[in-house]
Structure 1
Amino acid sequence: MTDYGILSLLPVAVVIVLVFFTKRTAVSLLVGTLVGAVMLYGTGFAKPWLDVVYGVMGSDLWIWLVLVCGFFGSLVALFEASGGIHGFTAIAAKVCKGEKRTLVASWILGIVTFVDDWLSILSVGTAMRRATDRFHIPREMLAFLSNATATSICVIVPTSTWGVFMISQLVATDVCTSEAGMSTFVQVLPFLFYPLVALLCGFLYSVGILPKIGPMRKAYALAKEQTAPVEESPVHESGKKPHALNFLLPIVLVTVVTILTREILYGTLLCLVFCALLYLPQKLLTPGQFLDTAMSGFKSMIGVLAIVTCAFMLRDINSLLGMPEFVIGAAKAAMSPQVLPVAAFLIVTVLAVAAGNFWGICAIAFPVIIPIAQALDANVLLTAGAIISATAAGSHLCFFGSEATLACSATQIENVRYAQTATPMLIVPVVASVLLYLAAGFLIG
């Protein structure tokens, strides 16, 4: 097998350069996969590259993503068409009397919908978009805040989809038994420095204690120059006043079903049925309009799915090039018990951003880094916390990842705008986490 070494990073570098020049995320990712395929197979790259495409699109995970993402799109379209979003916005308008209250309300909504990061991102983006527009808050800020809050809270809560996955990694790498999975995760919680700091920073940015920096400040300046949107009529086209419960009840149902079943797909599917039972008797939509709206919402997520699919293809190409192994191997020689936690945080963050796949990188990192921690007699729980934190950081920093893409879709901005505005804001929690893991490594590692 060819050792590509540092050249294994070339496809990712191509993607990043192209995105900022073309502003087209999916196309840039696709070109990155082609560059990797040419490196792997030369002029005969076409068939092996198509095999990667078929492998991604034929996987159970991809099919799951299509269904969940599409159903989310259907739900958002139905919330809009039923007037549920308008009803919620009307209530939010009574509470959100300015920029700070609006952003804090968005932050709180992101925390309340803790069960899944996609649910949190889409709920905040769709529900608060009009409120932020009203106070000239740039949508880039809403995209940043929704993503920064969603993954952070999901990583911290053991009963969320992220929490359950992380517990499975602790068990799979023999950090604990399956019976002790929950209690061990609770012990790791104090070492989840990045999501804890990112949540705090989200609040501090919201209330203005931390200033908006870089391109985000420019986005604020541009938003201030725009004309305030005209207040929409509070009357639904059916002649009825929109009710916030038409938004809130389905969101509660998705949350409860997902907690009980540990499967967001069941929650979204059942929620679609519930919306039909909720909206049709109120005559907010006819059966034909309901189906047309659901289908239109599903189709509206095709752009998101294209980006996520290409990111998965890039992940597989990177794996064939040996990129994760190269990065981890290059750092192994320099590791000591004291620096292992901070090294793990930085390495896994870089890998997660480069691959655009967070649980996948986490699943690769755990069985590689945890044995190193055990061999060096380092603090295993601290090291595990660093890996989990890095996975969250990667989901925030990777502008073509599924979470950032959904945040951009919900707030209706381009991925490149998210990259330009959110990255400088995320430097604060990243740097704080690096310092905390470095200090903890020497104090308790």
Structure 2
Amino acid sequence: MSCRRASTKRGKPGTKNRSDSSVAKSTLTAEAVQEAAKPSASIFNQPRAVWAVFFAGVISFMGIGLVDPILPAISEKMNASPSQTTLLFTSYNAVMAVAMLVTGLISSRLGMKRTLLAGVVIVALFAGLGGISGGIWELVAYRGGWGLGNALFVATALTAIVSMSRGGVTKAIILYEAAIGIGIAVGPLLGGELGTLSWRGPFLGVAGCMVAAFVALIVLMPKERQVAAAADPVRRISLSDPITALVRHRPLLVFGLTACLYNIGFFTLMAYAPFVMGLEIRGIGYVFLGWGILLALTSVFMAPRLQRAYGTVKTMCAMLALFGLTLLAMAIWTDVQWVVIASVVFAGALLGNNNTLITTGVMNAAPVERSTASAAYSFLRFIGGAIAPYMAGKLGERFGHSVPFYVGAAFVLLSVVFLAANRKHIRHVDQVEAH
């Protein structure tokens, strides 16, 4: 499909192309309008509101990797099996997956700023409760509540950054993925350092950080009506909209199912690797710090270059294939400590590239509101994240430590086959971005 055809198709009323134009025309100041019109505008030249959401996003995404270093400690202190302990990831991701279906409904009624603030408050509350919990099942339940708050924040933050940023959708997504990468990198570091004092420390630390994020959003983000003016015109979103979008728009479904499959490998690594590293809390934290740093750097600096050079779909296939082979190496040499550690760190580079590429693809995949596309994609993405941790724990207990990584590798390689088989449905995403 040529750029001209892509332009015609996406220029219909209610489509994403019209939304892109409205973003450029409805920023907060006249200066922002001028900057948005400059393709060469620096990615760092953004309104204060964008940086407020970015800061809160870093803290919010810390929760993904925060518990990695303390998983063995929680298992020991609470007399819980690895599979029970990995439920801290499963409950978090399962609640996020379901909650993603209602984020658009909530944000279209409350507004972006109020929804972001509600998410931050819920995360702070349940992180604090997790820090004072007395048993593994209580802690698992609080992590689920944490996932609810994170769902409200995550889906809305992507829409907010894309709507209010200068320089186009791609640069906005790079900022969003950078927040994810930095948060994922800092999370294990914070978890490792505070975890040496007590496993409760990381939970209480995040609760405190989210209070700071709440203050930043209150102070730096404009009033709700100004935020609404900067965003696309938003209709009232219904509960069924994300599911309807998946059914009607094959490209969105392809990206969502691809994310579901590769997230099984992603969260197998996140949830089960700490049990086979043979390191103390601080050591696990530093390994995942290296993982997160590479994830952040590649998502910001490497992914855009690869996308321009080779295209979204080809680069995704390459990154996912390499990630599957990395998990396979972890499965074969599970008992070799340096192989496991090096594989975890290297995987960060692969996942950083892939996360930026697939998020960009989702935003350009279908002519629906960005909030609806984000919710639909994230619903499928976090289903994979919910399945993987508990499955990995059970497989490891029953069949040995290498089996979870074999299974994770199989799912990731299956995602490559699925993506390649459906390439004709998603090849237009690069043409839309170029247009």
Q: Same fold (TM over 0.5)?
A: no
Larger CA Rg, structure 1 vs 2: 1
